[in-house]
Amino acid sequence: MRFLAQIADKIRKRAATRGFSCDCCGAELFDYPQNRLCNQCRETLTICDREKSCPKCGRATIAQGVCLSCKRALPKFDKGFSPFVYVGETAALVNRIKNGNRRLAYFFGEKMADIFMETNARFLKNDVGRVEANEKNAPEGGTGALLLILPVPAHATKVRERGYNQAADLAEIVCERLQRFGFEAEYDPDVLQKRKETKMQKHLGVANRAENVSGAYYVHKRAACRGKTIVLVDDIMTTGATGSEIAERLLGAGAKEVILLVAAALPEQK
Protein backbone atom coordinates (compact mmCIF):
# COMPACT_ATOMS: atom_id res chain seq x y z
CA MET A 1 0.00 0.00 0.00
CA ARG A 2 2.83 2.32 0.89
CA PHE A 3 4.42 1.60 -2.47
CA LEU A 4 1.20 2.45 -4.31
CA ALA A 5 0.88 5.64 -2.33
CA GLN A 6 4.41 6.60 -3.37
CA ILE A 7 3.59 6.04 -7.04
CA ALA A 8 0.40 8.07 -6.73
CA ASP A 9 2.44 10.83 -5.14
CA LYS A 10 4.95 10.81 -7.99
CA ILE A 11 2.16 11.03 -10.57
CA ARG A 12 0.58 13.91 -8.68
CA LYS A 13 3.86 15.81 -8.56
CA ARG A 14 4.58 15.28 -12.23
CA ALA A 15 1.08 16.34 -13.20
CA ALA A 16 1.49 19.49 -11.14
CA THR A 17 4.53 20.62 -13.10
CA ARG A 18 2.85 20.14 -16.47
CA GLY A 19 -0.45 21.04 -18.06
CA PHE A 20 -1.79 24.24 -19.50
CA SER A 21 -4.74 25.11 -17.35
CA CYS A 22 -5.47 27.26 -14.33
CA ASP A 23 -5.05 25.25 -11.13
CA CYS A 24 -8.06 27.00 -9.69
CA CYS A 25 -10.77 27.23 -12.36
CA GLY A 26 -9.32 25.08 -15.16
CA ALA A 27 -9.31 27.86 -17.78
CA GLU A 28 -6.80 27.44 -20.57
CA LEU A 29 -3.44 29.09 -19.96
CA PHE A 30 -0.67 29.88 -22.40
CA ASP A 31 2.08 30.65 -19.91
CA TYR A 32 1.85 27.62 -17.64
CA PRO A 33 3.75 26.86 -15.43
CA GLN A 34 5.05 30.43 -15.08
CA ASN A 35 1.58 31.29 -13.96
CA ARG A 36 -0.33 28.55 -12.29
CA LEU A 37 -3.52 30.59 -12.07
CA CYS A 38 -5.30 32.56 -14.78
CA ASN A 39 -5.43 36.36 -14.54
CA GLN A 40 -9.01 36.34 -13.34
CA CYS A 41 -8.28 34.00 -10.46
CA ARG A 42 -5.15 35.90 -9.50
CA GLU A 43 -7.05 39.17 -9.44
CA THR A 44 -9.40 37.84 -6.75
CA LEU A 45 -6.49 37.36 -4.35
CA THR A 46 -5.65 39.83 -1.59
CA ILE A 47 -1.88 40.26 -1.42
CA CYS A 48 -0.37 41.09 1.95
CA ASP A 49 1.28 44.51 1.66
CA ARG A 50 4.57 44.26 3.53
CA GLU A 51 4.63 48.01 4.12
CA LYS A 52 1.45 47.60 6.11
CA SER A 53 1.99 44.36 7.95
CA CYS A 54 2.94 43.50 11.51
CA PRO A 55 6.74 43.39 11.90
CA LYS A 56 6.37 40.48 14.29
CA CYS A 57 3.73 38.08 12.92
CA GLY A 58 3.43 39.41 9.37
CA ARG A 59 -0.35 39.85 9.26
CA ALA A 60 -1.89 42.82 7.44
CA THR A 61 -2.42 45.68 9.86
CA ILE A 62 -4.81 48.61 9.97
CA ALA A 63 -2.04 51.11 10.75
CA GLN A 64 1.72 50.71 10.72
CA GLY A 65 3.37 48.87 13.59
CA VAL A 66 2.85 45.79 15.72
CA CYS A 67 -0.68 44.33 15.48
CA LEU A 68 -3.14 44.17 18.37
CA SER A 69 -2.90 40.39 18.52
CA CYS A 70 0.88 40.52 19.09
CA LYS A 71 0.45 43.30 21.64
CA ARG A 72 -2.00 41.12 23.53
CA ALA A 73 0.25 38.05 23.51
CA LEU A 74 3.63 38.23 21.83
CA PRO A 75 4.11 35.05 19.76
CA LYS A 76 7.06 32.83 20.63
CA PHE A 77 8.19 32.54 17.01
CA ASP A 78 10.78 35.09 15.90
CA LYS A 79 8.93 36.35 12.86
CA GLY A 80 5.98 35.49 10.63
CA PHE A 81 5.55 35.85 6.87
CA SER A 82 2.50 35.47 4.70
CA PRO A 83 2.07 36.34 1.00
CA PHE A 84 -1.73 36.68 1.23
CA VAL A 85 -4.44 37.99 3.51
CA TYR A 86 -6.99 35.47 4.76
CA VAL A 87 -10.15 37.23 3.57
CA GLY A 88 -12.89 36.69 0.98
CA GLU A 89 -11.89 34.80 -2.16
CA THR A 90 -8.35 34.31 -0.91
CA ALA A 91 -9.63 32.50 2.17
CA ALA A 92 -11.92 30.36 0.01
CA LEU A 93 -9.01 29.41 -2.23
CA VAL A 94 -6.65 28.57 0.63
CA ASN A 95 -9.36 26.43 2.22
CA ARG A 96 -9.63 24.46 -1.00
CA ILE A 97 -6.09 23.13 -0.48
CA LYS A 98 -7.25 21.14 2.51
CA ASN A 99 -10.61 20.31 0.97
CA GLY A 100 -9.23 18.25 -1.88
CA ASN A 101 -7.48 20.60 -4.33
CA ARG A 102 -3.88 19.57 -3.64
CA ARG A 103 -2.76 21.13 -6.91
CA LEU A 104 -3.45 24.61 -5.50
CA ALA A 105 -0.70 23.98 -2.96
CA TYR A 106 1.84 24.59 -5.74
CA PHE A 107 0.69 28.13 -6.37
CA PHE A 108 0.61 29.05 -2.70
CA GLY A 109 3.77 27.13 -1.78
CA GLU A 110 5.74 28.94 -4.46
CA LYS A 111 4.48 32.35 -3.34
CA MET A 112 5.40 31.46 0.24
CA ALA A 113 8.92 30.51 -0.83
CA ASP A 114 9.23 33.74 -2.80
CA ILE A 115 8.29 35.99 0.11
CA PHE A 116 10.70 34.06 2.33
CA MET A 117 13.56 34.45 -0.16
CA GLU A 118 12.92 38.17 -0.63
CA THR A 119 13.19 38.80 3.08
CA ASN A 120 15.78 36.21 4.11
CA ALA A 121 18.58 36.39 1.56
CA ARG A 122 21.03 35.79 4.40
CA PHE A 123 20.39 32.07 3.97
CA LEU A 124 21.50 32.06 0.34
CA LYS A 125 24.60 30.03 -0.41
CA ASN A 126 27.56 32.14 -1.49
CA ASP A 127 29.72 31.66 -4.57
CA VAL A 128 31.56 28.70 -3.19
CA GLY A 129 28.28 27.04 -2.39
CA ARG A 130 28.47 27.50 1.34
CA VAL A 131 26.47 29.51 3.76
CA GLU A 132 28.97 31.26 5.98
CA ALA A 133 26.50 31.63 8.81
CA ASN A 134 26.10 27.89 8.73
CA GLU A 135 29.71 27.26 9.59
CA LYS A 136 29.55 29.52 12.60
CA ASN A 137 26.25 28.24 13.88
CA ALA A 138 26.37 24.60 12.92
CA PRO A 139 25.89 22.25 15.84
CA GLU A 140 29.08 20.57 16.94
CA GLY A 141 30.09 18.02 14.36
CA GLY A 142 26.94 18.76 12.41
CA THR A 143 26.95 19.60 8.72
CA GLY A 144 23.20 19.58 8.19
CA ALA A 145 21.26 22.09 6.12
CA LEU A 146 20.96 25.54 7.62
CA LEU A 147 17.21 25.84 7.18
CA LEU A 148 14.95 23.14 8.44
CA ILE A 149 11.50 23.26 6.83
CA LEU A 150 8.80 21.70 9.00
CA PRO A 151 5.06 21.42 8.42
CA VAL A 152 2.65 21.98 11.30
CA PRO A 153 1.65 18.37 11.85
CA ALA A 154 -1.90 17.13 11.60
CA HIS A 155 -3.32 14.41 13.80
CA ALA A 156 -2.92 10.89 12.35
CA THR A 157 -6.70 10.44 12.20
CA LYS A 158 -7.10 13.62 10.17
CA VAL A 159 -4.38 12.59 7.74
CA ARG A 160 -6.05 9.20 7.28
CA GLU A 161 -9.43 10.80 6.63
CA ARG A 162 -8.12 13.42 4.24
CA GLY A 163 -5.32 11.36 2.76
CA TYR A 164 -2.76 14.14 3.23
CA ASN A 165 -1.70 17.05 5.41
CA GLN A 166 -1.99 20.31 3.45
CA ALA A 167 0.75 21.92 5.55
CA ALA A 168 3.12 19.10 4.54
CA ASP A 169 2.27 19.61 0.87
CA LEU A 170 3.05 23.32 1.21
CA ALA A 171 6.26 22.74 3.19
CA GLU A 172 7.61 20.31 0.62
CA ILE A 173 6.95 22.76 -2.22
CA VAL A 174 8.52 25.62 -0.24
CA CYS A 175 11.64 23.54 0.41
CA GLU A 176 12.02 22.44 -3.21
CA ARG A 177 11.82 26.02 -4.38
CA LEU A 178 14.28 27.30 -1.80
CA GLN A 179 16.75 24.60 -2.83
CA ARG A 180 16.28 25.40 -6.51
CA PHE A 181 17.18 29.02 -5.81
CA GLY A 182 20.33 28.17 -3.89
CA PHE A 183 19.11 28.16 -0.32
CA GLU A 184 20.44 25.49 1.99
CA ALA A 185 17.20 23.91 3.13
CA GLU A 186 15.97 20.53 4.23
CA TYR A 187 12.41 19.26 4.59
CA ASP A 188 11.49 16.88 7.38
CA PRO A 189 7.86 15.98 8.11
CA ASP A 190 8.77 13.77 11.09
CA VAL A 191 10.42 16.23 13.45
CA LEU A 192 7.10 17.41 14.90
CA GLN A 193 4.14 15.31 15.91
CA LYS A 194 0.66 16.02 17.07
CA ARG A 195 -0.35 14.37 20.29
CA LYS A 196 -4.00 15.25 20.68
CA GLU A 197 -6.81 16.24 18.39
CA THR A 198 -7.55 19.94 18.69
CA LYS A 199 -10.75 21.79 17.88
CA MET A 200 -10.73 24.01 14.81
CA GLN A 201 -9.16 27.26 16.03
CA LYS A 202 -11.64 29.36 14.11
CA HIS A 203 -14.54 27.98 16.16
CA LEU A 204 -12.97 29.16 19.40
CA GLY A 205 -12.71 32.51 21.13
CA VAL A 206 -9.29 34.13 21.37
CA ALA A 207 -8.90 33.19 25.04
CA ASN A 208 -9.51 29.50 24.38
CA ARG A 209 -7.19 29.16 21.44
CA ALA A 210 -3.90 29.05 23.30
CA GLU A 211 -5.40 26.52 25.72
CA ASN A 212 -6.71 24.41 22.84
CA VAL A 213 -3.25 23.94 21.32
CA SER A 214 -1.32 23.78 24.60
CA GLY A 215 0.48 20.45 24.81
CA ALA A 216 -0.94 19.31 21.47
CA TYR A 217 2.42 19.19 19.70
CA TYR A 218 5.77 17.73 20.60
CA VAL A 219 9.22 17.52 19.08
CA HIS A 220 9.85 13.93 18.06
CA LYS A 221 13.36 14.48 16.67
CA ARG A 222 14.96 16.94 19.07
CA ALA A 223 18.53 16.51 17.84
CA ALA A 224 17.48 17.63 14.35
CA CYS A 225 16.51 21.06 15.71
CA ARG A 226 19.72 21.98 17.49
CA GLY A 227 21.25 25.19 16.17
CA LYS A 228 18.85 25.35 13.22
CA THR A 229 16.77 28.13 11.83
CA ILE A 230 13.40 26.48 11.47
CA VAL A 231 10.79 27.53 8.94
CA LEU A 232 7.48 26.33 10.29
CA VAL A 233 4.92 26.01 7.49
CA ASP A 234 1.14 26.11 7.80
CA ASP A 235 -1.77 27.01 5.53
CA ILE A 236 -3.44 29.66 7.72
CA MET A 237 -2.54 31.86 10.67
CA THR A 238 -5.48 33.12 12.72
CA THR A 239 -4.33 34.19 16.22
CA GLY A 240 -0.88 32.69 15.76
CA ALA A 241 -1.43 30.51 18.84
CA THR A 242 -0.52 27.27 17.04
CA GLY A 243 2.68 28.73 15.61
CA SER A 244 3.59 30.20 18.97
CA GLU A 245 2.99 26.94 20.83
CA ILE A 246 5.11 24.92 18.38
CA ALA A 247 7.86 27.57 18.29
CA GLU A 248 8.16 27.31 22.06
CA ARG A 249 8.71 23.53 21.75
CA LEU A 250 11.25 23.94 18.95
CA LEU A 251 13.23 26.60 20.80
CA GLY A 252 13.11 24.35 23.85
CA ALA A 253 14.68 21.62 21.71
CA GLY A 254 17.58 23.94 20.84
CA ALA A 255 16.43 25.63 17.63
CA LYS A 256 18.22 28.92 16.99
CA GLU A 257 15.16 30.71 15.63
CA VAL A 258 11.71 29.88 14.34
CA ILE A 259 10.12 31.60 11.37
CA LEU A 260 6.44 31.03 10.70
CA LEU A 261 5.50 30.91 7.04
CA VAL A 262 1.82 30.62 6.07
CA ALA A 263 -0.17 30.88 2.84
CA ALA A 264 -2.57 33.45 4.29
CA ALA A 265 -2.92 35.26 7.60
CA LEU A 266 -6.03 36.76 9.13
CA PRO A 267 -5.70 40.57 9.05
CA GLU A 268 -5.57 42.62 12.23
CA GLN A 269 -9.00 42.80 13.84
CA LYS A 270 -10.27 45.98 15.48
Residue of 70, 113, 185, 191 interacting with Zn ion (CB under 5 A): 70
Kindly report whether the peptide bond that precedes residue 33 is cis, defined as omega within 30 degrees of 0: yes
Does the footprint of Zn ion cover residue 22 (CB under 5 A)? yes
61-85: burial string, b at 16+ Cβ within 10 Å, e else: beeeeebebbeeeebbbbbbbbbbb
In angstroms, give the least distance from the CB of 209 to Zn ion.
Answer: 15
Closest CA to 106 of 169, 165, 54, 167: 169
- Give the interface segment with Zn ion, choosing from 55-63, 97-105, 134-142, 150-158 (CB under 5 A): 55-63
Does the footprint of Zn ion cover residue 25 (CB under 5 A)? yes
In angstroms, give the least distance from the CB of 240 to Zn ion.
Answer: 7
- Give the interface segment with Zn ion, choosing from 50-58, 89-97, 210-218, 222-230 (CB under 5 A): 50-58
In angstroms, give the least distance from the CB of 180 to Zn ion.
Answer: 25
Sites for Zn ion among residues 28-47 (CB under 5 A)? 38, 41
Closest CA to 184 of 132, 131, 257: 131
In angstroms, give the least distance from the CB of 81 to Zn ion.
Answer: 12
Q: Which DSSP helix (H) or strand (E) runs through 237? A: strand 229-237
Q: Which residues contact 28 (CB under 8 A, 6 or more apart)?
A: 20, 21, 22
In angstroms, give the least distance from the CB of 213 to Zn ion.
Answer: 17
Q: Which residues pair with 237 in a beta bridge?
A: 265
Sites for Zn ion among residues 80-139 (CB under 5 A)? none
Angle at 88 between CA 30 and CA 169, to 5 degrees: 60
Which positions touch Zn ion (CB under 5 A)?
22, 24-25, 27, 38, 41, 54, 56-57, 67, 70
